[in-house]
A and B are shown apart, each in its own frame.
Chain A
Amino acid sequence: MHSIRRWKRSSVRGWFLLSVGVLCPFLVQAQSTAAFNRDTVVLDPAHGGADGGARINDHLEEKDVTLALAARLRSLLAARGFNVVSTREDDLGSRSGTPLSTDQRAEMANRAHAVACLVLHASPAGNGIYLGTSALGSSLAAVTQNASSNPAPTSPVTWDRAQELYIPQSLGLANQIRTALSRETLPLASGRVAMRPLDNLMCPAVSIEVGPIRSDGSDPTPLSDGDYQQRVAEAIAGALIFWKNQAQPPSSISPALSTSGAGQ
Protein backbone atom coordinates (compact mmCIF):
# COMPACT_ATOMS: atom_id res chain seq x y z
CA MET A 1 0.00 0.00 0.00
CA HIS A 2 2.76 2.31 0.99
CA SER A 3 4.67 1.50 -2.23
CA ILE A 4 1.59 2.19 -4.37
CA ARG A 5 1.15 5.58 -2.72
CA ARG A 6 4.81 6.37 -3.30
CA TRP A 7 4.48 5.29 -6.95
CA LYS A 8 1.43 7.54 -7.40
CA ARG A 9 3.23 10.45 -5.81
CA SER A 10 6.28 9.97 -8.03
CA SER A 11 4.15 9.58 -11.17
CA VAL A 12 2.26 12.81 -10.39
CA ARG A 13 5.56 14.56 -9.85
CA GLY A 14 6.83 13.13 -13.14
CA TRP A 15 3.76 14.31 -15.07
CA PHE A 16 4.10 17.75 -13.50
CA LEU A 17 7.77 18.02 -14.49
CA LEU A 18 6.99 16.74 -17.99
CA SER A 19 4.22 19.26 -18.53
CA VAL A 20 6.40 22.08 -17.23
CA GLY A 21 9.18 20.93 -19.54
CA VAL A 22 6.84 20.95 -22.52
CA LEU A 23 5.17 24.26 -21.76
CA CYS A 24 8.22 26.23 -20.64
CA PRO A 25 9.67 26.85 -24.10
CA PHE A 26 6.31 28.16 -25.27
CA LEU A 27 6.01 30.36 -22.23
CA VAL A 28 9.51 31.75 -22.73
CA GLN A 29 8.77 32.26 -26.40
CA ALA A 30 5.52 34.00 -25.57
CA GLN A 31 7.26 36.31 -23.12
CA SER A 32 9.88 37.23 -25.68
CA THR A 33 7.40 37.90 -28.48
CA ALA A 34 4.21 39.56 -27.40
CA ALA A 35 1.53 40.83 -29.76
CA PHE A 36 1.87 44.21 -31.44
CA ASN A 37 0.70 47.43 -29.92
CA ARG A 38 -0.94 48.54 -33.13
CA ASP A 39 -0.94 52.19 -32.15
CA THR A 40 2.74 52.29 -31.29
CA VAL A 41 5.55 53.18 -33.68
CA VAL A 42 9.24 53.33 -32.75
CA LEU A 43 11.47 55.92 -34.41
CA ASP A 44 15.22 55.56 -34.15
CA PRO A 45 17.04 58.65 -35.45
CA ALA A 46 20.47 57.10 -35.91
CA HIS A 47 23.68 58.48 -34.39
CA GLY A 48 23.84 61.36 -31.93
CA GLY A 49 26.29 63.09 -29.63
CA ALA A 50 29.90 62.53 -30.61
CA ASP A 51 28.77 60.07 -33.28
CA GLY A 52 27.70 62.48 -35.99
CA GLY A 53 27.33 59.81 -38.68
CA ALA A 54 27.94 60.78 -42.27
CA ARG A 55 28.97 64.35 -43.03
CA ILE A 56 26.28 65.71 -45.33
CA ASN A 57 28.02 69.04 -45.99
CA ASP A 58 30.31 71.45 -44.18
CA HIS A 59 27.62 72.48 -41.71
CA LEU A 60 25.37 69.43 -41.53
CA GLU A 61 25.81 65.98 -40.09
CA GLU A 62 23.70 62.88 -40.46
CA LYS A 63 22.57 62.98 -36.83
CA ASP A 64 20.94 66.41 -37.42
CA VAL A 65 19.06 65.26 -40.53
CA THR A 66 17.75 62.09 -38.87
CA LEU A 67 16.61 64.07 -35.83
CA ALA A 68 14.83 66.64 -38.00
CA LEU A 69 13.12 63.92 -40.03
CA ALA A 70 12.11 62.09 -36.86
CA ALA A 71 10.59 65.29 -35.45
CA ARG A 72 8.46 65.77 -38.58
CA LEU A 73 7.44 62.13 -38.59
CA ARG A 74 6.63 62.19 -34.91
CA SER A 75 4.20 65.09 -35.22
CA LEU A 76 2.54 63.58 -38.30
CA LEU A 77 2.11 60.20 -36.62
CA ALA A 78 0.86 61.75 -33.38
CA ALA A 79 -1.74 63.66 -35.40
CA ARG A 80 -2.89 60.33 -36.84
CA GLY A 81 -3.37 58.79 -33.42
CA PHE A 82 -0.11 56.90 -33.06
CA ASN A 83 1.84 56.62 -29.86
CA VAL A 84 5.39 57.40 -30.96
CA VAL A 85 8.41 56.11 -29.03
CA SER A 86 11.63 57.81 -30.05
CA THR A 87 15.04 56.53 -29.05
CA ARG A 88 16.46 60.04 -29.34
CA GLU A 89 14.65 63.35 -28.97
CA ASP A 90 17.69 65.60 -28.75
CA ASP A 91 21.32 65.36 -29.76
CA LEU A 92 22.28 62.79 -27.14
CA GLY A 93 18.98 61.05 -26.44
CA SER A 94 19.93 60.22 -22.87
CA ARG A 95 20.41 62.04 -19.60
CA SER A 96 23.67 60.29 -18.83
CA GLY A 97 25.66 62.50 -21.18
CA THR A 98 26.52 59.68 -23.54
CA PRO A 99 24.41 58.63 -26.51
CA LEU A 100 22.55 55.34 -26.35
CA SER A 101 24.30 52.38 -27.90
CA THR A 102 22.63 50.42 -30.68
CA ASP A 103 21.85 47.64 -28.19
CA GLN A 104 20.18 50.09 -25.82
CA ARG A 105 18.12 51.51 -28.68
CA ALA A 106 17.03 48.02 -29.70
CA GLU A 107 16.13 47.21 -26.12
CA MET A 108 14.00 50.36 -25.88
CA ALA A 109 12.25 49.50 -29.14
CA ASN A 110 11.63 45.88 -28.14
CA ARG A 111 9.94 46.93 -24.92
CA ALA A 112 7.40 48.97 -26.91
CA HIS A 113 6.07 45.96 -28.90
CA ALA A 114 5.49 48.40 -31.72
CA VAL A 115 3.67 47.67 -34.94
CA ALA A 116 6.61 49.25 -36.82
CA CYS A 117 10.17 50.22 -36.00
CA LEU A 118 11.80 52.73 -38.32
CA VAL A 119 15.58 53.27 -38.20
CA LEU A 120 16.30 56.61 -39.83
CA HIS A 121 19.56 57.36 -41.63
CA ALA A 122 20.82 60.00 -44.06
CA SER A 123 23.66 59.98 -46.54
CA PRO A 124 25.20 62.40 -49.02
CA ALA A 125 25.65 59.48 -51.43
CA GLY A 126 22.99 57.63 -53.36
CA ASN A 127 19.88 58.97 -55.00
CA GLY A 128 16.64 59.43 -53.08
CA ILE A 129 15.47 56.93 -50.50
CA TYR A 130 17.08 53.59 -49.68
CA LEU A 131 14.87 51.10 -47.82
CA GLY A 132 16.74 48.38 -46.00
CA THR A 133 15.44 45.25 -44.32
CA SER A 134 17.59 42.95 -42.27
CA ALA A 135 19.78 40.50 -44.16
CA LEU A 136 18.78 37.77 -41.70
CA GLY A 137 16.96 34.99 -43.48
CA SER A 138 18.43 36.01 -46.84
CA SER A 139 21.36 34.52 -48.70
CA LEU A 140 23.51 37.24 -47.13
CA ALA A 141 22.70 36.23 -43.56
CA ALA A 142 25.73 36.00 -41.33
CA VAL A 143 27.36 32.60 -41.07
CA THR A 144 26.87 31.18 -37.58
CA GLN A 145 27.48 27.84 -35.99
CA ASN A 146 23.87 26.76 -35.54
CA ALA A 147 22.10 28.98 -38.02
CA SER A 148 18.93 27.66 -39.55
CA SER A 149 16.82 29.33 -42.17
CA ASN A 150 13.56 28.49 -40.39
CA PRO A 151 14.00 28.68 -36.65
CA ALA A 152 11.69 26.40 -34.74
CA PRO A 153 9.09 28.07 -32.53
CA THR A 154 10.63 26.54 -29.46
CA SER A 155 14.21 27.51 -30.28
CA PRO A 156 15.58 30.33 -28.14
CA VAL A 157 15.76 33.74 -29.77
CA THR A 158 19.32 35.00 -29.82
CA TRP A 159 20.01 38.70 -29.62
CA ASP A 160 21.95 38.84 -32.88
CA ARG A 161 19.13 37.11 -34.77
CA ALA A 162 16.13 38.62 -32.98
CA GLN A 163 14.78 40.16 -36.18
CA GLU A 164 14.74 36.82 -37.99
CA LEU A 165 11.19 35.93 -36.84
CA TYR A 166 9.87 39.25 -38.13
CA ILE A 167 11.46 39.24 -41.58
CA PRO A 168 8.19 38.58 -43.49
CA GLN A 169 6.52 41.40 -41.57
CA SER A 170 9.50 43.70 -42.17
CA LEU A 171 9.41 42.96 -45.89
CA GLY A 172 5.70 43.71 -45.89
CA LEU A 173 6.26 47.00 -44.10
CA ALA A 174 9.05 47.93 -46.53
CA ASN A 175 6.74 47.14 -49.42
CA GLN A 176 4.04 49.38 -47.94
CA ILE A 177 6.47 52.27 -47.50
CA ARG A 178 7.91 51.69 -50.98
CA THR A 179 4.46 51.98 -52.50
CA ALA A 180 3.77 55.20 -50.63
CA LEU A 181 7.09 56.75 -51.63
CA SER A 182 6.56 55.71 -55.25
CA ARG A 183 3.27 57.59 -55.23
CA GLU A 184 5.25 60.67 -54.23
CA THR A 185 7.49 60.02 -57.27
CA LEU A 186 10.57 59.89 -55.08
CA PRO A 187 13.53 57.87 -56.44
CA LEU A 188 14.10 54.84 -54.26
CA ALA A 189 15.99 51.60 -54.02
CA SER A 190 15.83 48.79 -51.53
CA GLY A 191 17.89 45.88 -50.34
CA ARG A 192 18.88 43.65 -47.46
CA VAL A 193 21.32 45.24 -45.04
CA ALA A 194 23.63 43.87 -42.36
CA MET A 195 23.41 46.56 -39.75
CA ARG A 196 22.75 47.11 -36.08
CA PRO A 197 20.32 47.64 -34.42
CA LEU A 198 18.11 46.33 -37.24
CA ASP A 199 19.03 42.70 -36.54
CA ASN A 200 18.19 43.06 -32.83
CA LEU A 201 14.67 44.47 -33.22
CA MET A 202 11.67 42.28 -32.38
CA CYS A 203 9.14 44.17 -34.46
CA PRO A 204 8.56 44.79 -38.16
CA ALA A 205 11.62 46.94 -38.82
CA VAL A 206 12.86 48.95 -41.79
CA SER A 207 15.88 51.15 -42.22
CA ILE A 208 15.09 54.33 -44.17
CA GLU A 209 18.09 56.21 -45.54
CA VAL A 210 17.40 59.58 -47.07
CA GLY A 211 19.77 60.84 -49.75
CA PRO A 212 19.78 63.84 -52.07
CA ILE A 213 17.57 63.62 -55.15
CA ARG A 214 19.74 63.79 -58.24
CA SER A 215 18.19 64.61 -61.57
CA ASP A 216 19.87 65.30 -64.89
CA GLY A 217 20.39 68.93 -65.74
CA SER A 218 19.57 70.39 -62.34
CA ASP A 219 21.11 70.71 -58.93
CA PRO A 220 20.36 67.84 -56.54
CA THR A 221 17.71 68.44 -53.91
CA PRO A 222 19.64 68.69 -50.63
CA LEU A 223 18.79 66.75 -47.51
CA SER A 224 18.29 69.99 -45.61
CA ASP A 225 15.37 70.88 -47.87
CA GLY A 226 12.28 71.15 -45.65
CA ASP A 227 9.80 70.34 -48.42
CA TYR A 228 11.72 67.18 -49.30
CA GLN A 229 11.74 66.02 -45.69
CA GLN A 230 8.03 66.78 -45.36
CA ARG A 231 7.18 64.75 -48.48
CA VAL A 232 9.13 61.79 -47.16
CA ALA A 233 7.57 62.05 -43.70
CA GLU A 234 4.02 62.32 -45.06
CA ALA A 235 4.52 59.33 -47.35
CA ILE A 236 5.82 57.22 -44.47
CA ALA A 237 3.04 58.32 -42.14
CA GLY A 238 0.46 57.45 -44.78
CA ALA A 239 2.01 54.02 -45.25
CA LEU A 240 1.90 53.34 -41.52
CA ILE A 241 -1.85 54.04 -41.42
CA PHE A 242 -2.36 51.17 -43.87
CA TRP A 243 0.25 48.99 -42.17
CA LYS A 244 -1.41 49.40 -38.78
CA ASN A 245 -4.39 47.35 -39.94
CA GLN A 246 -2.48 44.90 -42.12
CA ALA A 247 0.26 43.81 -39.76
CA GLN A 248 0.03 40.28 -38.43
CA PRO A 249 2.29 38.78 -35.78
CA PRO A 250 4.76 36.17 -36.98
CA SER A 251 3.04 32.84 -37.62
CA SER A 252 5.36 31.03 -35.23
CA ILE A 253 4.18 33.22 -32.37
CA SER A 254 0.43 32.70 -32.65
CA PRO A 255 0.27 29.15 -31.17
CA ALA A 256 2.63 30.19 -28.44
CA LEU A 257 0.34 33.06 -27.48
CA SER A 258 -2.67 30.78 -27.34
CA THR A 259 -0.74 28.25 -25.25
CA SER A 260 0.43 30.90 -22.83
CA GLY A 261 -3.08 32.25 -22.58
CA ALA A 262 -4.39 28.81 -21.73
CA GLY A 263 -1.72 28.30 -19.22
CA GLN A 264 -2.48 31.52 -17.45
Chain B
Amino acid sequence: MILRIKRGKFIRAGAVLTFIPRIPWSERPLARFNAAIPRYQRVLFYVLLAGIVLMAAFLLHERRVAHDRLAAQNDATPLAAPVSNATEPFTLDLASDSDGSVTAVERQIALPTVPSVRARALLERLMAEYALPNSLHPLASGAAVDDVFLLKLPVAASAPSPADAAPEEELAVINLRGSFINDHPSGVEVEMLTLLSIIGTLHANFPRVTQVRFLVDGQPRETLAGHADLERVYPAVDTTVAAGGSSQ
Protein backbone atom coordinates (compact mmCIF):
# COMPACT_ATOMS: atom_id res chain seq x y z
CA MET B 1 0.00 0.00 0.00
CA ILE B 2 1.41 3.36 -1.09
CA LEU B 3 0.52 6.68 0.67
CA ARG B 4 0.93 10.05 -0.96
CA ILE B 5 2.68 12.56 1.30
CA LYS B 6 3.81 15.32 -1.01
CA ARG B 7 3.55 15.96 -4.68
CA GLY B 8 5.55 13.24 -6.38
CA LYS B 9 6.73 11.61 -3.15
CA PHE B 10 5.26 8.42 -1.85
CA ILE B 11 6.06 6.21 1.07
CA ARG B 12 4.80 2.86 2.11
CA ALA B 13 2.04 2.56 4.70
CA GLY B 14 4.23 0.35 6.84
CA ALA B 15 6.64 3.21 7.33
CA VAL B 16 3.86 5.37 8.86
CA LEU B 17 3.17 2.72 11.42
CA THR B 18 6.74 2.91 12.61
CA PHE B 19 6.00 6.45 14.04
CA ILE B 20 4.03 4.81 16.80
CA PRO B 21 6.51 3.88 19.53
CA ARG B 22 6.29 0.31 20.37
CA ILE B 23 7.17 -1.46 23.55
CA PRO B 24 10.90 -1.43 24.13
CA TRP B 25 11.33 -5.20 24.28
CA SER B 26 9.95 -5.54 20.81
CA GLU B 27 13.12 -5.32 18.73
CA ARG B 28 11.67 -5.39 15.34
CA PRO B 29 9.40 -2.29 15.30
CA LEU B 30 12.00 -0.17 17.11
CA ALA B 31 14.65 -1.16 14.67
CA ARG B 32 12.29 -0.35 11.83
CA PHE B 33 11.50 3.03 13.53
CA ASN B 34 15.19 3.81 13.88
CA ALA B 35 15.79 2.90 10.32
CA ALA B 36 12.83 4.82 8.85
CA ILE B 37 13.05 8.10 10.86
CA PRO B 38 16.05 10.35 10.61
CA ARG B 39 18.05 10.85 13.76
CA TYR B 40 17.37 14.56 14.13
CA GLN B 41 13.60 13.94 13.99
CA ARG B 42 13.85 11.31 16.67
CA VAL B 43 15.85 13.67 18.88
CA LEU B 44 13.25 16.37 18.32
CA PHE B 45 10.46 13.96 19.19
CA TYR B 46 12.07 12.95 22.48
CA VAL B 47 12.82 16.58 23.34
CA LEU B 48 9.21 17.54 22.75
CA LEU B 49 8.00 14.60 24.79
CA ALA B 50 10.27 15.55 27.66
CA GLY B 51 8.99 19.14 27.41
CA ILE B 52 5.39 17.96 27.67
CA VAL B 53 6.17 15.93 30.74
CA LEU B 54 8.04 18.81 32.36
CA MET B 55 5.22 21.27 31.62
CA ALA B 56 2.66 18.90 33.08
CA ALA B 57 4.75 18.57 36.21
CA PHE B 58 5.15 22.34 36.38
CA LEU B 59 1.39 22.86 36.04
CA LEU B 60 0.67 20.37 38.79
CA HIS B 61 3.18 22.12 41.01
CA GLU B 62 1.70 25.56 40.31
CA ARG B 63 -1.79 24.26 40.96
CA ARG B 64 -0.72 23.00 44.36
CA VAL B 65 0.96 26.32 45.20
CA ALA B 66 -2.15 28.30 44.15
CA HIS B 67 -4.37 26.04 46.21
CA ASP B 68 -2.20 26.55 49.26
CA ARG B 69 -2.20 30.33 48.74
CA LEU B 70 -6.01 30.51 48.50
CA ALA B 71 -6.41 28.27 51.50
CA ALA B 72 -4.14 30.58 53.48
CA GLN B 73 -6.24 33.60 52.51
CA ASN B 74 -9.44 31.93 53.64
CA ASP B 75 -8.00 30.85 56.87
CA ALA B 76 -10.37 32.00 59.58
CA THR B 77 -8.24 30.89 62.43
CA PRO B 78 -8.37 33.69 65.04
CA LEU B 79 -4.91 35.13 65.52
CA ALA B 80 -5.91 38.11 67.70
CA ALA B 81 -8.35 38.04 70.55
CA PRO B 82 -11.79 39.44 69.49
CA VAL B 83 -12.82 42.80 70.94
CA SER B 84 -16.38 42.90 72.20
CA ASN B 85 -17.93 46.20 73.25
CA ALA B 86 -19.83 46.04 76.46
CA THR B 87 -23.45 47.09 76.43
CA GLU B 88 -24.07 50.61 77.65
CA PRO B 89 -27.25 52.48 78.49
CA PHE B 90 -28.45 54.69 75.63
CA THR B 91 -31.47 56.95 75.46
CA LEU B 92 -33.87 56.54 72.57
CA ASP B 93 -36.54 59.18 72.01
CA LEU B 94 -39.47 57.05 70.89
CA ALA B 95 -42.46 58.61 69.18
CA SER B 96 -46.08 57.59 69.42
CA ASP B 97 -48.59 58.33 66.67
CA SER B 98 -51.59 57.78 68.92
CA ASP B 99 -51.00 60.81 71.15
CA GLY B 100 -48.25 62.70 69.34
CA SER B 101 -45.77 62.16 72.15
CA VAL B 102 -42.02 61.60 72.12
CA THR B 103 -40.77 59.73 75.17
CA ALA B 104 -37.19 59.10 76.29
CA VAL B 105 -36.59 55.38 76.86
CA GLU B 106 -33.35 53.75 78.03
CA ARG B 107 -31.96 50.71 76.25
CA GLN B 108 -28.82 48.61 76.83
CA ILE B 109 -26.99 48.51 73.51
CA ALA B 110 -23.48 47.50 72.43
CA LEU B 111 -22.25 50.06 69.91
CA PRO B 112 -18.97 50.69 68.08
CA THR B 113 -16.55 53.22 69.50
CA VAL B 114 -15.98 55.40 66.42
CA PRO B 115 -18.40 58.34 66.96
CA SER B 116 -19.86 58.56 63.44
CA VAL B 117 -20.30 54.79 63.19
CA ARG B 118 -21.73 54.80 66.69
CA ALA B 119 -24.28 57.46 65.74
CA ARG B 120 -25.27 55.53 62.64
CA ALA B 121 -25.66 52.28 64.58
CA LEU B 122 -27.72 54.07 67.24
CA LEU B 123 -30.11 55.54 64.65
CA GLU B 124 -30.41 52.15 62.96
CA ARG B 125 -31.36 50.70 66.34
CA LEU B 126 -33.93 53.48 66.76
CA MET B 127 -35.46 52.66 63.38
CA ALA B 128 -35.43 48.96 64.24
CA GLU B 129 -37.63 49.78 67.25
CA TYR B 130 -40.16 51.39 64.90
CA ALA B 131 -40.15 48.33 62.65
CA LEU B 132 -41.35 46.06 65.46
CA PRO B 133 -44.92 44.76 65.06
CA ASN B 134 -46.24 46.53 68.17
CA SER B 135 -44.55 49.86 67.45
CA LEU B 136 -46.50 53.01 68.31
CA HIS B 137 -44.89 54.79 65.36
CA PRO B 138 -44.79 52.06 62.72
CA LEU B 139 -42.20 52.45 59.99
CA ALA B 140 -41.09 50.02 57.31
CA SER B 141 -38.27 47.68 58.23
CA GLY B 142 -34.91 47.81 56.53
CA ALA B 143 -31.82 49.96 56.60
CA ALA B 144 -32.71 53.64 57.04
CA VAL B 145 -29.43 55.46 57.55
CA ASP B 146 -26.59 55.28 55.06
CA ASP B 147 -24.08 57.41 56.94
CA VAL B 148 -23.76 59.91 59.73
CA PHE B 149 -21.06 62.54 59.36
CA LEU B 150 -20.02 64.54 62.41
CA LEU B 151 -18.48 67.85 61.36
CA LYS B 152 -16.89 70.30 63.74
CA LEU B 153 -18.48 73.74 63.83
CA PRO B 154 -18.08 76.23 62.36
CA VAL B 155 -17.85 74.21 59.18
CA ALA B 156 -16.52 77.07 57.02
CA ALA B 157 -13.96 78.44 59.51
CA SER B 158 -10.70 79.39 57.82
CA ALA B 159 -8.40 78.90 60.78
CA PRO B 160 -9.49 77.53 64.13
CA SER B 161 -8.84 79.97 66.93
CA PRO B 162 -8.10 78.85 70.50
CA ALA B 163 -11.41 80.35 71.64
CA ASP B 164 -13.32 78.23 69.13
CA ALA B 165 -11.47 75.09 70.07
CA ALA B 166 -12.62 75.07 73.69
CA PRO B 167 -16.29 74.05 73.45
CA GLU B 168 -16.41 71.68 70.50
CA GLU B 169 -19.72 71.73 68.75
CA GLU B 170 -20.59 69.43 65.92
CA LEU B 171 -23.00 69.31 63.02
CA ALA B 172 -24.46 65.87 62.39
CA VAL B 173 -25.23 65.27 58.73
CA ILE B 174 -27.56 62.29 58.48
CA ASN B 175 -27.65 60.66 55.07
CA LEU B 176 -30.92 58.74 54.89
CA ARG B 177 -31.62 56.01 52.38
CA GLY B 178 -34.02 56.75 49.55
CA SER B 179 -35.81 53.46 50.17
CA PHE B 180 -36.55 54.53 53.74
CA ILE B 181 -37.92 57.88 52.57
CA ASN B 182 -40.06 56.28 49.88
CA ASP B 183 -41.62 53.87 52.38
CA HIS B 184 -42.13 56.48 55.10
CA PRO B 185 -45.80 57.22 55.90
CA SER B 186 -46.96 60.62 54.70
CA GLY B 187 -48.44 63.16 57.09
CA VAL B 188 -47.50 66.25 59.09
CA GLU B 189 -47.59 64.55 62.48
CA VAL B 190 -45.95 61.28 61.53
CA GLU B 191 -43.12 62.98 59.66
CA MET B 192 -42.45 65.51 62.41
CA LEU B 193 -42.40 62.73 64.98
CA THR B 194 -39.74 60.86 62.99
CA LEU B 195 -37.58 63.99 62.80
CA LEU B 196 -38.09 64.80 66.48
CA SER B 197 -37.21 61.25 67.42
CA ILE B 198 -33.96 61.29 65.44
CA ILE B 199 -32.94 64.76 66.64
CA GLY B 200 -33.78 64.00 70.26
CA THR B 201 -31.91 60.68 70.23
CA LEU B 202 -28.78 62.36 68.86
CA HIS B 203 -29.07 65.17 71.40
CA ALA B 204 -29.42 62.74 74.30
CA ASN B 205 -26.41 60.60 73.37
CA PHE B 206 -24.06 62.99 71.58
CA PRO B 207 -23.84 66.18 73.66
CA ARG B 208 -21.42 67.80 71.22
CA VAL B 209 -23.95 67.63 68.39
CA THR B 210 -25.72 70.98 68.33
CA GLN B 211 -27.09 70.98 64.78
CA VAL B 212 -28.61 68.32 62.58
CA ARG B 213 -28.97 68.30 58.83
CA PHE B 214 -30.57 65.66 56.62
CA LEU B 215 -29.64 64.34 53.19
CA VAL B 216 -31.31 61.61 51.18
CA ASP B 217 -28.98 59.45 49.12
CA GLY B 218 -26.39 62.18 49.43
CA GLN B 219 -28.65 64.92 48.05
CA PRO B 220 -30.72 67.63 49.74
CA ARG B 221 -34.43 66.89 49.67
CA GLU B 222 -37.35 69.26 50.14
CA THR B 223 -39.54 67.18 52.45
CA LEU B 224 -39.46 63.86 54.25
CA ALA B 225 -42.62 62.45 52.69
CA GLY B 226 -44.40 65.53 51.37
CA HIS B 227 -44.72 67.60 54.55
CA ALA B 228 -41.89 68.01 57.08
CA ASP B 229 -39.09 70.25 55.85
CA LEU B 230 -35.79 68.44 55.28
CA GLU B 231 -33.86 71.36 53.81
CA ARG B 232 -33.31 73.35 56.98
CA VAL B 233 -30.65 72.84 59.63
CA TYR B 234 -32.33 71.77 62.85
CA PRO B 235 -30.93 72.55 66.28
CA ALA B 236 -30.19 69.43 68.31
CA VAL B 237 -32.43 69.96 71.32
CA ASP B 238 -34.48 67.94 73.73
CA THR B 239 -37.50 66.96 71.65
CA THR B 240 -39.48 64.97 74.17
CA VAL B 241 -43.14 65.84 73.91
CA ALA B 242 -45.82 64.92 76.42
CA ALA B 243 -48.96 63.13 75.28
CA GLY B 244 -51.16 65.55 73.38
CA GLY B 245 -48.16 67.56 72.28
CA SER B 246 -47.80 70.21 74.92
CA SER B 247 -44.08 70.83 75.06
CA GLN B 248 -41.13 71.70 72.78
Q: Are A143 and B189 in contact (CB under 8 A)?
A: no
Q: How far is the CB of A14 from chain B (nearest CB, A)?
A: 41
Q: Are A127 and B99 in contact (CB under 8 A)?
A: yes
A38 within 8 A of B: no
Contact-residue bracket for chain B: 35 or more
Q: Are A126 and B100 in contact (CB under 8 A)?
A: yes
Q: How far is the CB of A183 from chain B (nearest CB, A)?
A: 16
Residues of A within 8 A of B190 (CB): 123, 125-126
Residues of B within 8 A of A121 (CB): 187-188, 227
B245 within 8 A of A: yes
Q: Are B245 and A139 in contact (CB under 8 A)?
A: no
Q: Are A189 and B245 in contact (CB under 8 A)?
A: yes
A-B interface pairs (CB < 8 A), number: 114
Within 8 A of A (CB), among B198-232: 199, 211, 223, 225-229, 232
A193 within 8 A of B: yes
Digit string of B79-114 for contact with A (CB within 8 Å is 1, else 0)? 000000000000000000111110000000000000
Q: Are A130 and B188 in contact (CB under 8 A)?
A: yes
Secondary structure call for the A interface: loop
- Measured in the bound complex, the distance between the Cα atoms of B193 and A132 in whole Å is 12
Residues of B within 8 A of A230 (CB): none
- Measured in the bound complex, the distance between the Cα atoms of B233 and A55 in whole Å is 28
A195 within 8 A of B: yes
Please tell me which one of the listed residues A143, A188, A199 contacts residue B233 in the complex, with CB atoms under 8 A apart.
A143
Please tell me which one of the listed residues A53, A126, A199 contacts residue B189 in the complex, with CB atoms under 8 A apart.
A126
Q: Are B226 and A142 in contact (CB under 8 A)?
A: no
- Measured in the bound complex, the distance between the Cα atoms of B188 and A196 in whole Å is 11
Digit string of A36-56 for contact with B (CB within 8 Å is 1, else 0)? 000000000001000101110
Please tell me which one of the listed residues A55, A140, A207, A214 contacts residue B188 in the complex, with CB atoms under 8 A apart.
A207
Residues of A within 8 A of B98 (CB): 126-127, 214
Residues of A within 8 A of B248 (CB): 135, 138-140, 191-192
Instruction: Known A195-B228, A196-B229; judge A123-B235 contact (CB<8 A).
Output: no
Chain A residue with Cβ nearest B222: A196
B178 within 8 A of A: no
Chain B residue with Cβ nearest A139: B237
Residues of B within 8 A of A190 (CB): 100, 244-246
B192 within 8 A of A: yes
- Measured in the bound complex, the distance between the Cα atoms of B248 and A123 in whole Å is 22
- Measured in the bound complex, the distance between the Cα atoms of B211 and A105 in whole Å is 30
B185 within 8 A of A: yes
Q: How far is the CB of A141 from chain B (nearest CB, A)?
A: 7
- Measured in the bound complex, the distance between the Cα atoms of B225 and A51 in whole Å is 11
Q: How far is the CB of B208 from chain A (nearest CB, A)?
A: 15
Q: Are A140 and B186 in contact (CB under 8 A)?
A: no
Residues of A within 8 A of B237 (CB): 139-140
Q: Are B97 and A194 in contact (CB under 8 A)?
A: no
Chain A residue with Cβ nearest B153: A143
Instruction: Known A125-B190, A142-B232, A142-B233; judge A53-B226 contact (CB<8 A).
Output: yes
- Measured in the bound complex, the distance between the Cα atoms of B9 and A229 in whole Å is 109
Chain A residue with Cβ nearest B229: A194
Q: How far is the CB of A148 from chain B (nearest CB, A)?
A: 14
A164 within 8 A of B: no
Q: Are B235 and A140 in contact (CB under 8 A)?
A: yes
A64 within 8 A of B: no
Chain B residue with Cβ nearest A140: B248
Given contacts A123-B188, A141-B235, A189-B244, 14 further A-B contacts (CB under 8 A): A53-B186, A123-B190, A125-B187, A127-B98, A132-B192, A138-B248, A139-B235, A140-B199, A143-B233, A189-B100, A189-B243, A190-B244, A195-B228, A207-B188
The 14 listed contacts between A and B (C-beta, < 8 Å) are: A54-B185, A123-B189, A125-B189, A126-B189, A135-B248, A139-B238, A140-B234, A142-B235, A143-B234, A189-B243, A190-B244, A190-B246, A194-B234, A211-B189
